[in-house]
Amino acid sequence: MSDNSAAVPPAAVPPTDAREPLRLMCVHAHPDDESSKGAATMAKYVDEGVEVLVVSCTGGERGDVLNPALKDRPEIEANIREIRRTEMAQAQRILGVKHHWLGFVDSGLPEGDPLPPLPEGCFGLVPLAESTRALVELVRQFRPHVMTTYDENGGYPHPDHIMCHNVSVAAFEAAGDIEAFPDAGDPWQPLKLYYDVTFTRERIEALHNAMVERNIESPYEEWIANWEERAKDRRVPTVTTKVHCADQFDRRDAALLAHATQVDPEGWFFKIPLDVQREVFPWEQFELARSLVDTDLPEDDLFAGVREKAERS
């Protein structure tokens, strides 16, 4: 696990003259995932004084160049690893978060029929105990109160996203267990685990209808027409939590655009005007997957139930 240019954040020390700050850890598969899933929520909590750490499980080394303006340029393809690290550093600065490379290698997205095997040594093939230990060690150092990751489908069935889910859930369960990975630091138990929920039917239809009402072309026409086919064989997420973060939508978009190789600035993601988004759907959505504190659903805060416990501790 030597691929770790960012220093591991030191274990937080409770201040002597103030309550210990709340901490949020967001675990993602690749650089750029953090900017397309829950980025405005992270920025909101940073603005409130919460310590936020983004974990990138891989370096995105096998990601395709998705920006048409940068495709088929040998100098980019030859240096994609370094370029993606630079992009991540810029997104990190925009969002105001801390960042850690977990150090595993991108699996790529195998395509074809029959489906080719994953490349040797990639994240998708790393034994779960090995990858879990790496994340447990980081959890015990950073000591998050809340963690976020993907559901069991990975948000979409990329092998790294599915492994990210498996590792995050396993680390959430193991980090507070004194008998699990005893050489990985002092136990620390996060109190809540959430799954990112990005594109729900409620959100897509709300934005689509707002565009139609304003006589603006909607990028979601085909999505809605083919929704049943798109959603086939996938569990419909249960949205338990909506975080109001409209004021941070501009930073979310700027962070995503910082990943210049991975996003088309003229693409569908940026077709909905920010003022429409802020008016019609000013939230980001999450599914509460694990909770060790009492909370009432639905929630409007990832730290619901946690704040009260922290104040008493």
Task: Examine the pLDDT at 188 and tell me if it is beyond 70.
Answer: yes
Three-class secondary structure of residue 163 per DSSP: helix
191 inside domain: yes
- CA angle at 289 for the pair 229 and 300, rounded to the nearest 5°: 95
Which residues fall in the annotated binding site?
Answer: 30, 33, 161
Q: Is residue 91 part of a domain?
A: yes
Query: What's the pTM value of the predicted model, to 2 decimals?
Result: 0.92
pLDDT value at position 234? 78
In a domain, 165, yes or no: yes
DSSP characters over 65-109: P--GGGTT-HHHHTTHHHHHHHHHHHHHHHHT-EEEEEEEPP---
As a whole number of angstroms, the distance between CA 45 and CA 39 comes to 10
How many domains does one find in the chain?
1
- Sequence-distant (≥ 6) Cβ neighbours of residue 198 within 8 angstroms: 36, 37, 155, 285
Q: How far is CA 277 from CA 37, 46, 236, 250, 313, in A?
A: 15, 21, 23, 11, 38
Residue type, 8: V
Residue 246 lies in a domain: no
Q: What is the CATH number of the domain that holds 94?
A: 3.40.50.10320
159: helix, strand or coil: helix
Residue 216 falls within a domain, yes or no?
no
Contacts of 63 (CB under 8 A, 6+ apart): 30, 32, 80, 84, 106, 108, 261, 262
**pLDDT for residue 312:** 63
Residues 233-283: pLDDT tens digits? 778 899 999 999 999 999 999 999 999 999 999 999 999 999 999 999 999
pLDDT surpassing 90 at residue 293: yes
In a domain, 274, yes or no: no
Domain presence at residue 7? no
Which token pair is 170? 């396993």
How many of the other CB atoms lie within 10 Å of CB of 254?
16
In-domain check, residue 18: no
Which parts are annotated binding residues for Zn(2+)? Answer: 30, 33, 161
Residue 60, domain extent: 23-198+283-312
- pLDDT per residue over 88-111, tens digit each? 999 999 999 999 999 999 999 988
CA distances to 88, 133, 170, 281 from 242, in Å: 26, 31, 25, 10
Query: What's the mean pLDDT in 141-160?
Result: 94
